[in-house]
Protein backbone atom coordinates (compact mmCIF):
# COMPACT_ATOMS: atom_id res chain seq x y z
CA UNK A 1 0.00 0.00 0.00
CA UNK A 2 1.26 3.49 -0.81
CA UNK A 3 0.28 6.84 0.62
CA UNK A 4 1.13 10.32 -0.48
CA UNK A 5 3.36 12.72 1.42
CA UNK A 6 2.89 16.45 1.86
CA UNK A 7 5.16 19.36 2.43
CA UNK A 8 5.26 20.85 5.91
CA UNK A 9 4.54 24.51 5.26
CA UNK A 10 3.80 26.73 8.25
CA UNK A 11 2.22 29.59 6.39
CA UNK A 12 1.68 32.79 8.27
CA UNK A 13 1.37 31.38 11.75
CA UNK A 14 3.70 33.26 14.06
CA UNK A 15 4.62 30.13 15.97
CA UNK A 16 6.65 28.98 12.95
CA UNK A 17 9.61 30.80 14.43
CA UNK A 18 9.43 28.57 17.47
CA UNK A 19 9.42 25.30 15.57
CA UNK A 20 13.01 25.33 14.42
CA UNK A 21 12.02 23.50 11.22
CA UNK A 22 9.22 21.05 10.82
CA UNK A 23 11.14 17.81 10.60
CA UNK A 24 12.01 17.68 14.28
CA UNK A 25 15.23 15.84 13.54
CA UNK A 26 13.54 13.05 11.61
CA UNK A 27 13.26 12.46 7.88
CA UNK A 28 12.03 15.61 6.18
CA UNK A 29 8.64 15.49 4.46
CA UNK A 30 10.17 17.77 1.83
CA UNK A 31 12.42 14.89 0.85
CA UNK A 32 9.42 12.67 0.21
CA UNK A 33 7.15 15.17 -1.53
CA UNK A 34 6.17 14.06 -5.02
CA UNK A 35 7.05 10.40 -4.55
CA UNK A 36 5.43 7.41 -2.88
CA UNK A 37 6.20 6.76 0.75
CA UNK A 38 6.22 3.21 2.03
CA UNK A 39 3.64 2.53 4.71
CA UNK A 40 4.93 0.23 7.44
CA UNK A 41 3.20 -3.13 7.43
CA UNK A 42 1.85 -4.84 10.54
CA UNK A 43 4.69 -7.37 10.26
CA UNK A 44 7.38 -4.70 10.64
CA UNK A 45 9.25 -4.82 13.95
CA UNK A 46 7.76 -2.25 16.29
CA UNK A 47 9.92 -0.09 18.55
CA UNK A 48 6.77 1.01 20.38
CA UNK A 49 6.45 -0.41 23.88
CA UNK A 50 4.02 2.22 25.22
CA UNK A 51 0.91 3.78 23.69
CA UNK A 52 -0.77 6.74 25.40
CA UNK A 53 -4.20 7.78 24.14
CA UNK A 54 -4.96 11.34 25.29
CA UNK A 55 -8.70 11.95 24.84
CA UNK A 56 -9.90 15.55 24.68
CA UNK A 57 -13.43 16.85 24.19
CA UNK A 58 -15.83 18.07 21.53
CA UNK A 59 -14.03 19.64 18.58
CA UNK A 60 -14.32 19.04 14.86
CA UNK A 61 -11.21 18.85 12.70
CA UNK A 62 -12.12 22.04 10.88
CA UNK A 63 -12.64 23.92 14.13
CA UNK A 64 -8.97 23.44 15.05
CA UNK A 65 -7.29 23.08 11.66
CA UNK A 66 -9.37 25.16 9.21
CA UNK A 67 -6.33 27.23 8.24
CA UNK A 68 -3.54 24.73 8.96
CA UNK A 69 -1.22 24.80 5.93
CA UNK A 70 -1.75 21.84 3.64
CA UNK A 71 -4.66 20.37 5.58
CA UNK A 72 -8.18 19.72 4.32
CA UNK A 73 -9.86 22.68 5.98
CA UNK A 74 -12.04 25.60 4.98
CA UNK A 75 -13.06 29.09 6.09
CA UNK A 76 -16.37 28.86 4.26
CA UNK A 77 -19.25 26.57 5.22
CA UNK A 78 -22.58 25.66 3.67
CA UNK A 79 -26.01 26.48 5.09
CA UNK A 80 -29.43 25.17 4.09
CA UNK A 81 -31.27 28.47 4.93
CA UNK A 82 -33.02 29.48 8.13
CA UNK A 83 -35.42 32.43 8.19
CA UNK A 84 -35.74 32.11 11.98
CA UNK A 85 -32.25 33.49 12.53
CA UNK A 86 -31.34 37.12 13.02
CA UNK A 87 -30.31 38.06 10.43
CA UNK A 88 -31.90 35.28 8.35
CA UNK A 89 -29.47 32.78 6.84
CA UNK A 90 -29.68 32.14 3.11
CA UNK A 91 -28.94 28.83 1.45
CA UNK A 92 -25.39 28.49 0.19
CA UNK A 93 -21.94 29.60 1.36
CA UNK A 94 -21.49 31.10 4.81
CA UNK A 95 -18.23 32.52 6.13
CA UNK A 96 -16.78 30.92 9.23
CA UNK A 97 -15.98 33.21 12.16
CA UNK A 98 -12.69 33.03 14.03
CA UNK A 99 -13.43 32.49 17.72
CA UNK A 100 -11.39 32.12 20.92
CA UNK A 101 -10.77 28.68 22.39
CA UNK A 102 -12.61 29.35 25.66
CA UNK A 103 -16.14 29.49 24.27
CA UNK A 104 -19.09 30.39 26.45
CA UNK A 105 -21.76 28.27 24.74
CA UNK A 106 -21.99 24.53 24.17
CA UNK A 107 -23.76 23.10 21.12
CA UNK A 108 -25.97 20.12 20.41
CA UNK A 109 -23.81 17.09 19.62
CA UNK A 110 -26.23 14.19 19.86
CA UNK A 111 -27.10 11.87 17.00
CA UNK A 112 -30.89 12.11 17.19
CA UNK A 113 -31.34 15.83 16.66
CA UNK A 114 -27.78 17.07 16.19
CA UNK A 115 -25.53 15.33 13.70
CA UNK A 116 -28.35 13.57 11.87
CA UNK A 117 -29.77 17.03 11.11
CA UNK A 118 -26.48 18.75 10.25
CA UNK A 119 -25.37 15.82 8.06
CA UNK A 120 -28.34 16.26 5.70
CA UNK A 121 -27.70 13.18 3.60
CA UNK A 122 -23.98 13.91 3.36
CA UNK A 123 -24.30 17.49 2.16
CA UNK A 124 -23.09 18.83 5.53
CA UNK A 125 -25.13 21.99 5.06
CA UNK A 126 -27.73 22.03 7.85
CA UNK A 127 -25.80 23.06 10.95
CA UNK A 128 -27.85 26.27 10.97
CA UNK A 129 -31.09 24.39 11.66
CA UNK A 130 -29.77 22.36 14.60
CA UNK A 131 -31.29 23.52 17.89
CA UNK A 132 -29.47 24.15 21.15
CA UNK A 133 -30.28 21.32 23.53
CA UNK A 134 -32.37 19.64 20.87
CA UNK A 135 -35.48 21.71 21.56
CA UNK A 136 -34.10 25.19 22.25
CA UNK A 137 -33.48 28.08 19.87
CA UNK A 138 -31.77 27.47 16.54
CA UNK A 139 -27.98 27.49 16.63
CA UNK A 140 -28.04 29.53 13.39
CA UNK A 141 -24.53 30.77 12.52
CA UNK A 142 -22.89 29.72 15.79
CA UNK A 143 -21.57 26.31 14.58
CA UNK A 144 -19.90 28.06 11.64
CA UNK A 145 -16.70 28.99 13.39
CA UNK A 146 -13.07 27.97 13.82
CA UNK A 147 -10.60 28.49 16.66
CA UNK A 148 -8.02 31.27 16.65
CA UNK A 149 -4.73 29.43 15.91
CA UNK A 150 -2.88 31.54 18.48
CA UNK A 151 -5.03 29.91 21.19
CA UNK A 152 -4.01 26.38 20.18
CA UNK A 153 -0.34 26.83 19.37
CA UNK A 154 0.56 23.62 21.20
CA UNK A 155 -1.69 21.58 18.90
CA UNK A 156 -0.37 23.25 15.75
CA UNK A 157 3.21 22.72 16.85
CA UNK A 158 2.59 19.04 17.57
CA UNK A 159 0.83 18.60 14.22
CA UNK A 160 3.71 20.34 12.43
CA UNK A 161 6.47 18.36 14.09
CA UNK A 162 4.78 14.95 14.01
CA UNK A 163 1.82 13.46 12.10
CA UNK A 164 -1.67 14.87 11.64
CA UNK A 165 -4.59 12.64 10.62
CA UNK A 166 -6.84 14.94 8.62
CA UNK A 167 -9.58 12.37 7.98
CA UNK A 168 -10.21 10.79 11.38
CA UNK A 169 -13.93 10.16 11.84
CA UNK A 170 -15.82 9.28 14.99
CA UNK A 171 -17.42 5.85 14.99
CA UNK A 172 -20.83 7.48 15.51
CA UNK A 173 -22.22 10.96 14.95
CA UNK A 174 -23.01 10.90 18.65
CA UNK A 175 -21.76 12.23 21.97
CA UNK A 176 -19.10 11.35 24.53
CA UNK A 177 -20.86 8.36 26.08
CA UNK A 178 -20.63 6.21 22.96
CA UNK A 179 -17.35 7.80 21.79
CA UNK A 180 -15.51 6.62 24.90
CA UNK A 181 -16.94 3.16 24.48
CA UNK A 182 -15.71 3.15 20.90
CA UNK A 183 -12.19 3.90 22.16
CA UNK A 184 -12.07 0.75 24.30
CA UNK A 185 -14.44 -1.41 22.29
CA UNK A 186 -14.80 -0.18 18.70
CA UNK A 187 -18.60 -0.22 18.81
CA UNK A 188 -21.58 -0.16 21.14
CA UNK A 189 -23.66 -3.14 20.01
CA UNK A 190 -25.74 -4.44 22.93
CA UNK A 191 -28.16 -6.54 20.88
CA UNK A 192 -27.47 -8.48 17.66
CA UNK A 193 -29.09 -5.73 15.58
CA UNK A 194 -28.92 -2.64 17.81
CA UNK A 195 -26.30 -0.37 19.32
CA UNK A 196 -26.23 2.31 22.01
CA UNK A 197 -26.38 5.89 20.78
CA UNK A 198 -26.28 9.26 22.59
CA UNK A 199 -26.49 9.29 26.37
CA UNK A 200 -28.64 7.12 28.65
CA UNK A 201 -31.86 8.37 30.16
CA UNK A 202 -30.79 9.96 33.43
CA UNK A 203 -28.98 12.94 31.95
CA UNK A 204 -25.52 13.75 33.23
CA UNK A 205 -25.61 11.03 35.90
CA UNK A 206 -25.57 8.52 33.10
CA UNK A 207 -22.24 6.81 32.73
CA UNK A 208 -22.36 3.07 33.42
CA UNK A 209 -22.85 0.45 36.10
CA UNK A 210 -23.03 3.27 38.67
CA UNK A 211 -25.99 4.94 36.98
CA UNK A 212 -29.16 5.20 39.11
CA UNK A 213 -31.59 2.29 39.10
CA UNK A 214 -34.08 2.55 36.24
CA UNK A 215 -31.61 4.17 33.84
CA UNK A 216 -31.94 2.92 30.25
CA UNK A 217 -29.86 3.39 27.13
CA UNK A 218 -30.96 4.80 23.79
CA UNK A 219 -30.58 2.47 20.84
CA UNK A 220 -30.16 2.78 17.08
CA UNK A 221 -30.57 0.01 14.52
CA UNK A 222 -28.33 -1.00 11.62
CA UNK A 223 -30.50 1.10 9.33
CA UNK A 224 -29.94 4.16 11.52
CA UNK A 225 -33.51 4.26 12.74
CA UNK A 226 -34.51 4.55 16.38
CA UNK A 227 -34.10 1.26 18.19
CA UNK A 228 -36.21 2.22 21.19
CA UNK A 229 -35.27 1.65 24.81
CA UNK A 230 -32.19 -0.36 25.63
CA UNK A 231 -30.76 -2.03 28.72
CA UNK A 232 -29.25 -0.53 31.86
CA UNK A 233 -25.78 0.77 30.90
CA UNK A 234 -23.77 -2.09 32.41
CA UNK A 235 -22.39 -4.84 30.20
CA UNK A 236 -23.85 -7.75 32.18
CA UNK A 237 -27.28 -6.53 30.99
CA UNK A 238 -26.44 -6.72 27.29
CA UNK A 239 -27.65 -9.46 24.96
CA UNK A 240 -24.50 -9.26 22.84
CA UNK A 241 -20.96 -10.11 23.93
CA UNK A 242 -19.04 -7.00 24.95
CA UNK A 243 -15.26 -7.63 24.87
CA UNK A 244 -12.96 -4.61 25.12
CA UNK A 245 -9.26 -3.97 24.67
CA UNK A 246 -8.89 -4.87 28.32
CA UNK A 247 -9.68 -8.49 27.45
CA UNK A 248 -7.12 -8.61 24.66
CA UNK A 249 -4.44 -6.84 26.71
CA UNK A 250 -4.98 -9.04 29.76
CA UNK A 251 -4.87 -12.20 27.66
CA UNK A 252 -1.38 -11.27 26.40
CA UNK A 253 -0.13 -9.92 29.72
CA UNK A 254 0.11 -6.35 28.41
CA UNK A 255 -0.29 -3.79 31.21
CA UNK A 256 -2.87 -1.00 31.00
CA UNK A 257 -4.21 1.95 32.99
CA UNK A 258 -7.18 4.23 32.49
CA UNK A 259 -6.66 7.68 34.09
CA UNK A 260 -9.75 9.70 35.09
CA UNK A 261 -10.43 12.76 37.28
CA UNK A 262 -11.93 12.23 40.76
CA UNK A 263 -15.59 12.56 41.70
CA UNK A 264 -17.38 13.03 45.00
CA UNK A 265 -20.70 12.26 43.34
CA UNK A 266 -21.99 9.20 41.47
CA UNK A 267 -18.83 7.81 39.89
CA UNK A 268 -20.69 7.28 36.66
CA UNK A 269 -20.89 11.03 36.13
CA UNK A 270 -17.33 10.95 34.81
CA UNK A 271 -16.09 9.82 31.43
CA UNK A 272 -14.76 6.53 32.76
CA UNK A 273 -15.47 4.07 29.95
CA UNK A 274 -14.70 0.98 32.02
CA UNK A 275 -17.44 1.89 34.48
CA UNK A 276 -19.78 0.30 31.93
CA UNK A 277 -17.76 -2.92 31.75
CA UNK A 278 -19.07 -5.20 34.49
CA UNK A 279 -15.95 -7.38 35.01
CA UNK A 280 -13.82 -4.27 35.49
CA UNK A 281 -16.24 -2.26 37.62
CA UNK A 282 -16.81 -5.18 40.00
CA UNK A 283 -13.37 -6.75 39.77
CA UNK A 284 -9.92 -6.03 41.16
CA UNK A 285 -8.91 -3.93 38.15
CA UNK A 286 -11.28 -1.16 39.23
CA UNK A 287 -8.72 -0.33 41.93
CA UNK A 288 -5.51 -1.33 40.19
CA UNK A 289 -6.07 -0.19 36.59
CA UNK A 290 -8.66 2.61 36.73
CA UNK A 291 -6.56 5.39 38.19
CA UNK A 292 -7.64 8.66 39.76
CA UNK A 293 -6.69 11.48 39.70
CA UNK A 294 -5.77 11.76 36.06
CA UNK A 295 -2.59 13.67 36.98
CA UNK A 296 -1.18 10.36 38.23
CA UNK A 297 -0.04 9.86 34.62
CA UNK A 298 2.57 12.56 35.25
CA UNK A 299 3.76 10.85 38.44
CA UNK A 300 3.85 7.42 36.80
CA UNK A 301 5.99 8.75 33.96
CA UNK A 302 8.36 10.43 36.41
CA UNK A 303 8.61 7.34 38.63
CA UNK A 304 8.99 4.83 35.80
CA UNK A 305 5.56 3.26 36.26
CA UNK A 306 4.00 3.94 32.86
CA UNK A 307 1.83 1.04 31.68
CA UNK A 308 2.14 -0.32 28.17
CA UNK A 309 -1.32 1.03 27.25
CA UNK A 310 -2.78 4.18 28.81
CA UNK A 311 -5.96 6.17 28.32
CA UNK A 312 -5.93 9.73 29.75
CA UNK A 313 -9.18 11.62 30.46
CA UNK A 314 -8.86 15.33 31.37
CA UNK A 315 -10.29 17.46 34.12
CA UNK A 316 -13.19 19.57 32.76
CA UNK A 317 -11.16 22.80 32.69
CA UNK A 318 -8.48 21.08 30.59
CA UNK A 319 -10.75 19.23 28.18
CA UNK A 320 -11.41 21.77 25.35
CA UNK A 321 -15.14 21.33 26.00
CA UNK A 322 -17.02 24.56 25.11
CA UNK A 323 -18.77 26.41 27.91
CA UNK A 324 -16.62 25.16 30.80
CA UNK A 325 -16.57 27.50 33.81
CA UNK A 326 -14.26 27.48 36.81
CA UNK A 327 -14.93 30.01 39.57
CA UNK A 328 -17.36 31.85 37.32
CA UNK A 329 -14.77 32.24 34.56
CA UNK A 330 -14.81 30.47 31.21
CA UNK A 331 -11.62 28.48 30.84
CA UNK A 332 -9.95 26.03 28.48
CA UNK A 333 -6.46 24.92 29.43
CA UNK A 334 -6.58 21.93 27.10
CA UNK A 335 -3.51 22.84 25.02
CA UNK A 336 -1.46 23.38 28.18
CA UNK A 337 -2.62 20.08 29.68
CA UNK A 338 -1.81 18.12 26.53
CA UNK A 339 1.56 19.86 26.22
CA UNK A 340 2.31 18.92 29.84
CA UNK A 341 1.54 15.23 29.26
CA UNK A 342 3.58 15.18 26.04
CA UNK A 343 6.48 17.05 27.65
CA UNK A 344 6.54 14.68 30.62
CA UNK A 345 6.90 11.70 28.28
CA UNK A 346 9.19 13.49 25.84
CA UNK A 347 11.69 14.42 28.54
CA UNK A 348 11.64 10.95 30.08
CA UNK A 349 13.30 7.64 29.24
CA UNK A 350 9.94 6.56 27.76
CA UNK A 351 10.23 8.84 24.73
CA UNK A 352 12.25 6.41 22.64
CA UNK A 353 9.57 3.71 22.88
CA UNK A 354 6.27 5.63 23.03
CA UNK A 355 3.48 6.61 20.68
CA UNK A 356 1.09 9.31 21.90
CA UNK A 357 -2.24 9.63 20.09
CA UNK A 358 -4.06 12.89 20.85
CA UNK A 359 -7.73 12.70 19.91
CA UNK A 360 -10.95 14.64 20.39
CA UNK A 361 -13.82 12.32 21.29
CA UNK A 362 -16.67 13.88 19.35
CA UNK A 363 -17.48 16.73 16.98
CA UNK A 364 -19.02 19.03 19.59
CA UNK A 365 -21.54 20.54 17.17
CA UNK A 366 -18.94 22.46 15.15
CA UNK A 367 -19.13 22.79 11.38
CA UNK A 368 -16.90 20.56 9.29
CA UNK A 369 -16.61 20.36 5.52
CA UNK A 370 -16.20 16.58 5.31
CA UNK A 371 -18.90 14.01 5.98
CA UNK A 372 -18.46 10.25 5.93
CA UNK A 373 -20.99 8.00 4.27
CA UNK A 374 -23.28 6.69 6.97
CA UNK A 375 -23.00 2.93 7.08
CA UNK A 376 -24.83 1.54 10.11
CA UNK A 377 -25.40 2.34 13.77
CA UNK A 378 -25.39 6.13 13.30
CA UNK A 379 -21.93 6.24 11.86
CA UNK A 380 -19.31 7.03 10.92
CA UNK A 381 -19.79 10.52 12.32
CA UNK A 382 -17.96 13.80 11.80
CA UNK A 383 -14.23 14.45 11.48
CA UNK A 384 -12.25 15.10 14.64
CA UNK A 385 -8.59 16.07 15.06
CA UNK A 386 -6.00 13.36 15.68
CA UNK A 387 -2.28 13.98 16.19
CA UNK A 388 0.24 11.13 16.37
CA UNK A 389 3.34 12.02 18.41
CA UNK A 390 6.32 9.69 18.53
CA UNK A 391 10.01 9.57 17.63
CA UNK A 392 8.81 7.31 14.82
CA UNK A 393 5.91 9.47 13.63
CA UNK A 394 6.38 10.65 10.05
CA UNK A 395 7.54 14.18 10.68
CA UNK A 396 5.33 16.91 9.27
CA UNK A 397 3.09 14.36 7.58
CA UNK A 398 -0.59 15.01 6.96
CA UNK A 399 -2.23 11.65 6.39
CA UNK A 400 -5.07 11.68 3.83
CA UNK A 401 -6.12 8.15 4.81
CA UNK A 402 -9.70 7.81 6.03
CA UNK A 403 -9.57 6.62 9.64
CA UNK A 404 -12.11 5.97 12.37
CA UNK A 405 -11.68 5.17 16.04
CA UNK A 406 -11.30 1.51 15.10
CA UNK A 407 -8.10 2.55 13.29
CA UNK A 408 -6.52 3.36 16.64
CA UNK A 409 -7.69 0.08 18.13
CA UNK A 410 -6.28 -1.81 15.15
CA UNK A 411 -2.88 -0.16 15.64
CA UNK A 412 -2.89 -1.15 19.32
CA UNK A 413 -3.83 -4.71 18.39
CA UNK A 414 -1.13 -4.88 15.72
CA UNK A 415 1.53 -3.49 18.01
CA UNK A 416 1.22 -6.31 20.53
CA UNK A 417 -0.29 -8.99 18.26
CA UNK A 418 -3.43 -9.01 20.38
CA UNK A 419 -5.84 -10.37 17.80
CA UNK A 420 -9.00 -8.50 16.90
CA UNK A 421 -12.09 -7.37 18.78
CA UNK A 422 -14.02 -8.03 15.60
CA UNK A 423 -15.79 -4.66 15.68
CA UNK A 424 -14.83 -1.56 13.69
CA UNK A 425 -11.18 -2.54 14.06
CA UNK A 426 -11.75 -5.38 11.58
CA UNK A 427 -12.16 -3.19 8.48
CA UNK A 428 -10.64 0.12 9.62
CA UNK A 429 -7.36 1.34 8.15
CA UNK A 430 -4.69 1.26 10.85
CA UNK A 431 -2.92 4.50 11.80
CA UNK A 432 0.30 2.51 11.27
CA UNK A 433 0.94 4.47 8.07
CA UNK A 434 1.52 7.60 10.20
CA UNK A 435 4.74 5.96 11.41
CA UNK A 436 8.08 5.14 9.81
CA UNK A 437 9.91 2.72 12.07
CA UNK A 438 12.97 2.86 9.79
CA UNK A 439 13.51 6.60 10.08
CA UNK A 440 16.05 8.30 12.32
CA UNK A 441 14.09 8.79 15.56
CA UNK A 442 12.88 12.36 16.09
CA UNK A 443 14.68 14.15 18.90
CA UNK A 444 12.10 15.52 21.31
CA UNK A 445 11.69 19.27 21.54
CA UNK A 446 9.60 20.51 24.49
CA UNK A 447 6.29 22.14 23.56
CA UNK A 448 6.09 25.67 25.02
CA UNK A 449 3.27 26.08 27.53
CA UNK A 450 2.18 28.77 29.96
CA UNK A 451 1.28 26.07 32.51
CA UNK A 452 3.45 23.21 33.70
CA UNK A 453 3.08 19.98 35.64
CA UNK A 454 3.12 21.76 39.02
CA UNK A 455 0.00 23.72 38.03
CA UNK A 456 -1.96 20.61 37.14
CA UNK A 457 -0.73 18.64 40.14
CA UNK A 458 -2.03 21.31 42.54
CA UNK A 459 -5.12 22.25 40.51
CA UNK A 460 -8.38 21.99 42.45
CA UNK A 461 -10.64 19.41 40.83
CA UNK A 462 -14.14 20.44 39.87
CA UNK A 463 -15.67 16.98 40.53
CA UNK A 464 -17.74 17.45 37.41
CA UNK A 465 -17.64 15.47 34.14
CA UNK A 466 -15.63 16.92 31.25
CA UNK A 467 -18.79 16.64 29.12
CA UNK A 468 -22.32 17.26 30.39
CA UNK A 469 -23.83 16.07 27.07
CA UNK A 470 -27.23 16.90 25.65
CB 410 within 8 A of CB 357: no
DSSP code of 112? I
Which pLDDT score is estimated for 7?
33
Q: Give CA separation, 185 vs 96, 159, 248, 408, in Å.
A: 35, 26, 11, 11
Task: Give the pLDDT band of residue 469 (cuts 50, 70, 90).
Answer: low
Q: What is the structure's pLDDT at 329?
A: 84
**CATH code of the domain made up of 2-75+148-187+234-458:** 3.40.720.10
pLDDT band of residue 330 (cuts 50, 70, 90) is: confident
Is residue 56 within 8 Å of 359, Cβ to Cβ?
yes
Instruction: List the Cα angle 101/381/188 in 5-degree steps.
Output: 115
pTM for this entry: 0.90
Q: What are the boundaries of each domain within the chain?
A: 2-75+148-187+234-458
Q: What is the pLDDT of residues 62-92, one digit of tens each?
A: 999 999 999 999 999 999 999 999 999 999 9
DSSP string, 368-398: -S-BPPP-SSS-S-BEEEEEEESTTB-TTEE
3-state secondary structure of 257: strand
Q: Say how many Å lie between the first and final Cα of the chain, rounded.
A: 41
From the CB of residue 468, how many other CB atoms can be counted at a distance below 10 Å?
17
Number of alpha carbons in the 13 Å side-chain half-sphere of residue 436: 22
In this predicted structure, what is the pLDDT of residue 5? Answer: 36
Burial of 461 (0-12, 13-18, 19+ CB in 10 A): middle
Q: What is the pLDDT of residue 35?
A: 23
The whole-number average pLDDT for the span 147-162 is: 98
- CA geometry: angle at 166 spanning 30 and 403, to 5°? 120
Amino acid sequence: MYVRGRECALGTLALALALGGCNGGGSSPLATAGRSVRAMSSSSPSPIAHIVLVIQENRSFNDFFATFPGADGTMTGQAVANANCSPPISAGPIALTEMPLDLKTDMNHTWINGYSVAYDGGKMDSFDVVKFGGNGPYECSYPYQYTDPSDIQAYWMLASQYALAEHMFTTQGSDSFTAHQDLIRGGTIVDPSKAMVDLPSCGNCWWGCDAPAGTVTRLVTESNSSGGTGPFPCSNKFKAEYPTLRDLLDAKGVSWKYYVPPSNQIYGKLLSAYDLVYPVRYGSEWKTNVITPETQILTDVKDGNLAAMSWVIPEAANSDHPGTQVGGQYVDDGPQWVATVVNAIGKSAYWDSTAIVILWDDWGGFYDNEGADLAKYAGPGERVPAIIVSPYARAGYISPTVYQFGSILKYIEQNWNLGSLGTTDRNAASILNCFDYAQTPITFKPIPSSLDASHFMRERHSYRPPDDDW
